[in-house]
Amino acid sequence: MELSSILKPEAVRVLSSASSKKRLFQEIGDVAAGTLGLDAQAIVENLLERESLGPTGVGHGVALPHARLTEIEAVAGVFVLLEKPIDFGSVDRQPVDLAFSLFAPEEAGVEHLKALALVSRTLREPTVCAKLRANPDPVKLYAILTEAQSMQAA
């Protein structure tokens, strides 16, 4: 599995307006609706429901909110760089400025887990996160994310 297979270039955004976790989820829902053809409100509700089980802020300013959706056929993602970090209830209590949301079909057991592991590995790399934070251009962000995986595989 490759990041380029689950993340479209147009699903990468830089946000200046997200002031809370819920607002971030609304922005992610809007991006997913526009790029993946999904229902924005269903996405927000599913992300909030998953988040109620435990925060998806994994530390070091990174969050991996994810949800299973009935109307999606394959695992897909949305990546967001926040200009102003927000409180996310992360395990290390650090605010989040990098969020990679994954959406999977209801029945996508192992594929969903593989995608989550791939994204987690990529965003666990400090040099990748530093590059992402230093390049507030969606085209460059997409290139960094997809090239990072190629570098890890080499």
User: Strands 76-86 and 7-15, how do they pair?
Assistant: parallel
In sign, the C-alpha dihedral spanning 123, 94, 21, 51 is positive
Among 80, 72, 60, 55, CA closest to 126: 60
- Give catalytic status of residue 66 as yes or no: yes
Strand, helix or coil for residue 93:
coil
Which of 32, 61, 65, 66 is labelled catalytic? 66
Residue with tokens 């949800």: 67
Neighbours of 78 (CB within 10 A): 28
Which tokens belong to 64? 């991996």
Say if CB 88 and CB 57 are below 8 A apart: yes
Cβ partners under 8 Å of residue 54, min gap 6: none
Q: Annotated catalytic sites, by residue?
A: 66
